[in-house]
Amino acid sequence: MLNSLSFNTGGDMLNAFKQFGFRQSVAVAITAVGVACSAPGFAQGAAKAAAKGAGAAAPAEIVGNAQAGAKKNSACIGCHGIPEYRTAFPVTYRVPKIAGQSEKYLESALKAYRSGERPHPSMKGIATTLTDQDIADLSAFYAAKN
C-alpha cells in the first residue's frame, strides 16, 4: 500500500510537471514530499501502537545469567543440593535432580509453581519470592554443566 502510494505520488509529480511547468510542479513536489514523509510517519506510529499492544502480552525478553543465578540459589541447595534428599510432604519421594536439566523446562517449572498451576507448598513458597529475572538466572545456572 505504501509502495503504490509513493508510485502514484511520483506519477502525479510527473503529470504535474508536464501540465503546469516548473513553478507549479515544485509546489506539487513539496506537497508530495510532505505526503511521502507523513505516510511513513503514520506507518511508524501504527507500528509503535501495535508493538505497545503486543508488549503488554509479551514483555521484553529476559536473558538468564548463570553467574547471577549462582548467587540466588540459597533457597534451592537445602533440598536440590543434597543427593537422595526426600521431601517430607505430602508424600515421600526424592526431590528431582535439577543440575543439567533443560533451561526452558526449569523456567517453566518455576513459573508454574509461582502461579500455583503446579501445586507444591514449599516450591510455591520459594517461587513466589522470585522475579522473572531471578527465575531466568537460576534456570541458566542449573542448566549449565558443573
Partner 1 sequence: MTSNRFFLHVSASIALALAASAASAANIAAGKEKASTICAGCHGADGVTSVDPSYPKLAGQYPDYLARALTEYKSGSRKNPIMAGMAAALTKEDIANISAYYASLPSPLTFKKR
Interface with partner 1 (CB under 8 A): 70, 73, 77, 80-81, 83, 91, 93-105, 107-109, 117-119, 141-142, 145-146
From the CB of 125, what's the least distance to partner 1, in Å? 17
Q: Which is nearer to partner 1, 35 or 70 (CB)?
A: 70
Q: Which is nearer to partner 1, 9 or 64 (CB)?
A: 64
Q: Which is nearer to partner 1, 35 or 80 (CB)?
A: 80
Cell representation of residue 11 = 506519477
From the CB of 117, what's the least distance to partner 1, in Å? 6
From the CB of 132, what's the least distance to partner 1, in Å? 16
Give me the helix-helix angle, 103-115 and 132-143, nearest 10°. Answer: 140
**Nearest Cα to Cα of residue 91 among 130, 50, 119, 61:** 119
Q: How far apart are CA 25 and CA 96, in angstroms?
A: 76
From the CB of 28, what's the least distance to partner 1, in Å? 57
Q: How far apart are CA 100 and CA 143, in angstroms?
A: 5
Q: Which is nearer to partner 1, 35 or 75 (CB)?
A: 75
